[in-house]
Structure 1
Amino acid sequence: MSNNNQQKKFQSQPHLGLVCITASKQVRYRTITRKRLLQMTPKEQAERLLGLYRENLERLNLAIDFCLANSINLYRMTSGLFPFADTEIGAEVLNQFADKLQVTGSRATENNLRLVLHPDQFVVLSSDRQQVIENSIKILTMHARIMDLLGQPRSPWALLNIHGGKSDRAEKLIETIRSLPDPIRLRLTLENDEYAYSSEDILAVCRQAGIPMVFDAHHHVINQKLDSYEHESVGEMLAAAQTTWTNREHQLVHISNGKESFGDPRHSDLITNMPSSYRDVPWIEVEAKLKEEAIFKLRQEWLPKLSIKSWLQFN
């Protein structure tokens, strides 16, 4: 490795991403239930969504302010940013914010803030019910539209990350992904989960469908019933996932710790256990209950250790 490449590697550290809200009340969003919305007339629905979208866009701007003020370069927007924007009324209301969304997205881009989305669990592209698949595509179309309005690229930089869904339906999952329109397909990534799709399962799907894999170390150890992030398969699957990214500098992974025990699928407040293989990952979404506090703790305790190890390696 040349001296320049050594220096670049030494200087680079993983970007730690904020997921949706803050532990403090600085970043919060409004919503409304479907039952409540359906009790209104169409005119009332439009008026209510207009106010809600306006306020949530303001709060998205506050979230961007928070990230920039705290040198956070990755923000996972909430999937409920614009509730019911997948309906005809919601879509019409959302279009009224096109100019403002462009300004918001441009500000994120100009400040090198990466915006990503993780649609909710109702998105299942591998279902044995065509109606579920069609509704899932409808939801993804809405999220892709939001990304387009924000001026975000149609690439995994502005990813839409989902799980595999119904187990033992890999062929249907691949078939559905291949048929997706570009605004969705070019942004889509798949993540391994605790039970239905292992890392190897999702890796195979990603390779055949031609989309990137988001590796989640905690899901992996639960699925494989492991007792350590240092098991060799963690590093191996991380490296394998990296090969699915056309631009490897954009590879994104997730990290969480178990709440009560190592294998607990519930997320802990902070991250106290990091896989050593994550030291060279460029982008990490921190999935912890205390959100920004977990990020700050990793900055204070984990990232400095990486810098020391890098210095010892190259000196």
Structure 2
Amino acid sequence: MTSAAPRSAPAGGSPAYGLVCMTVGPEVRFRTVTRTRYLALSESERREKLRDIYGANIARLRAAAEFCAARGIQLYRLSSSLFPMLDLRHGGTADEISGEVFAEFSGELQAAGAAFAAAGIRTLMHPEQFIVLNSDRPEVRESSLHALGVHARVMDALGLERSGWNLLLLHGGKGGRGAELQALIPDLPDAIRLRLGLENDERAFGAADLLPVCEATGTPFVFDAHHQVVHGRLSGFDDPSIREWTLRARATWQPPEWQLVHLSNGIDGPHDRRHSYLIADVPAAYADVPWIEVEAKGKEEAVAALMGQS
């Protein structure tokens, strides 16, 4: 696996702010194809379509590394949709064409991952919320594990180290089933388990629900202050519990210098779940957090503003 650098907190005492997936501008955009369109194609057409999309998206991923490096952005979230149809199954069997086409790009994938590592850019993936490992429905658990395994396969193919440095981030899943989530984590495949991080959400898993799972399983806790404000109906980021949860989350990270949190603001106030365009309110509790992923509609513009760039 490609090693990442730097292997500690960002230099200079300032946090590393992270860009999520794409840019508002045209610099970092990815292509896709719908399931309906894909299945309407002949087998040869499917193969060519995916070759075209996968090749283009890998090239754009390299461009994302260059974009971040040029702007001093040290944290980047990889899109979960880089390789459409790679998680597709037909009657429980994985789609062969997508897997075969993906394997054809092994060299290009390694080079793309190496570009991030060479620039000292930390990476993560955050699959869609349809992945619910602790669902009470066996078919959902099985499909979720399959989809998560595909994400881990992408990270392996990129040469990204199996550790919390290259995070594979999930929400807690089905509410009221923390014990079930805790029980299944130790048995996850290494490609998933060694990268796994868990994030609190606005509804099912507040910080108090998720922290015990993280502590019991050695899983890093990615604290989201905005989610916690919404979940707990707190007055805002100035609530003393935000600092408490930031510190308790840090204790789940090994090393603590790898702690990553999420930062977002509501459009119409602290209880609005919708993300604002820029970030106007940064929790004082985050003052000494080294890695901050910025979830804002303004993407690179929000990151640049936080970094004090024009």
Number of aligned residue pairs: 294
1:192 matched to 2:193: no
The whole-number CA distance in structure 2 between the counterparts of 1:108 and 1:10 is 17
The whole-number CA distance in structure 1 between the counterparts of 2:175 and 2:185 is 16
Alignment of 1:133-212 (within 5 A): 133-212=141-220
Gaps of 5+ in 2: 1-8, 88-94
SS of the residue aligned with 2:242?
Answer: helix
The residue type paired with residue 282 of structure 1 is: P
The whole-number CA distance in structure 1 between the counterparts of 2:64 and 2:118 is 15
The residue type paired with residue 78 of structure 1 is: S
Partner deviation per Cα, 1:153-193 (whole Å, 9 max, x = no partner): 10010110010111001111112212100000000100000
The whole-number CA distance in structure 1 between the counterparts of 2:183 and 2:84 is 29
Aligned to 1:295: 303
The residue type paired with residue 150 of structure 1 is: L
SS of the residue aligned with 2:19?
Answer: strand
Sort the Cα spacing of 1:103 and 1:186 in 2 relative to 1 into closer, same or farther, 3 A: same
1:122 matched to 2:123: no
The whole-number CA distance in structure 2 between the counterparts of 1:230 and 1:114 is 29
1:39 matched to 2:40: yes
Aligned to 1:5: none
The residue type paired with residue 188 of structure 1 is: L
Is the Cα–Cα contact under 8 Å of residues 172 and 198 in structure 2 kept in the other structure?
A: yes
TM-score by length of 1: 0.91
Which of 253, 268, 274 is equivalent to 1:266?
A: 274
SS of the residue aligned with 1:18?
Answer: strand
Residues 41-50 or 238-247, more deviating: 41-50
The whole-number CA distance in structure 2 between the counterparts of 1:18 and 1:63 is 10
Task: Give the C-alpha shift of residue 9 in structure 1.
Answer: 10
Aligned to 1:53: 54
Is the Cα–Cα contact under 8 Å of residues 125 and 177 in structure 1 kept in the other structure?
A: no
The whole-number CA distance in structure 2 between the counterparts of 1:60 and 1:272 is 29
Is the Cα–Cα contact under 8 Å of residues 164 and 196 in structure 1 kept in the other structure?
A: yes
Aligned to 1:249: 257
Gaps of 5+ in 1: 1-7, 302-315
SS of the residue aligned with 2:27?
Answer: coil
More helix by share: 1
1:107 matched to 2:115: yes
Aligned to 2:76: 75
The whole-number CA distance in structure 1 between the counterparts of 2:271 and 2:52 is 42
The residue type paired with residue 207 of structure 2 is: S
Task: Give the C-alpha shift of residue 209 in structure 1.
Answer: 2.0
The whole-number CA distance in structure 1 between the counterparts of 2:184 and 2:305 is 40
Which of 268, 273, 283 is equivalent to 1:275?
A: 283
Partner deviation per Cα, 1:66-111 (whole Å, 9 max, x = no partner): 1011110101011001111123321211111111111111121111
Is the Cα–Cα contact under 8 Å of residues 10 and 290 in structure 2 kept in the other structure?
A: no
Task: Give the C-alpha shift of residue 41 in structure 1.
Answer: 2.0
Question: What percentage of residue pairs aligned between the two structures are identical?
Answer: 47
Task: Give the C-alpha shift of residue 143 in structure 1.
Answer: 1.0
The whole-number CA distance in structure 1 between the counterparts of 2:129 and 2:10 is 37
The whole-number CA distance in structure 2 between the counterparts of 1:26 and 1:283 is 23
Sort the Cα spacing of 1:10 and 1:20 in 2 relative to 1 into closer, same or farther, 3 A: closer
The residue type paired with residue 244 of structure 1 is: T
The whole-number CA distance in structure 2 between the counterparts of 1:135 and 1:243 is 32
The whole-number CA distance in structure 1 between the counterparts of 2:187 and 2:126 is 20
Sort the Cα spacing of 1:179 and 1:70 in 2 relative to 1 into closer, same or farther, 3 A: same
Is the Cα–Cα contact under 8 Å of residues 117 and 160 in structure 1 kept in the other structure?
A: yes
Sort the Cα spacing of 1:9 and 1:259 in 2 relative to 1 into closer, same or farther, 3 A: closer
Task: Give the C-alpha shift of residue 23 in structure 1.
Answer: 1.1
Task: Give the C-alpha shift of residue 204 in structure 1.
Answer: 0.9
TM-score by length of 2: 0.92
Task: Give the C-alpha shift of residue 134 in structure 1.
Answer: 1.1
The whole-number CA distance in structure 1 between the counterparts of 2:222 and 2:58 is 27
Aligned to 2:5: none
Partner deviation per Cα, 1:104-132 (whole Å, 9 max, x = no partner): 11121111011110011111111011111
SS of the residue aligned with 2:287?
Answer: helix
SS of the residue aligned with 1:241?
Answer: helix
Task: Give the C-alpha shift of residue 43 in structure 1.
Answer: 2.2
SS of the residue aligned with 1:215?
Answer: strand
Is the Cα–Cα contact under 8 Å of residues 163 and 191 in structure 1 kept in the other structure?
A: yes
The whole-number CA distance in structure 1 between the counterparts of 2:237 and 2:147 is 34
SS of the residue aligned with 1:176?
Answer: helix
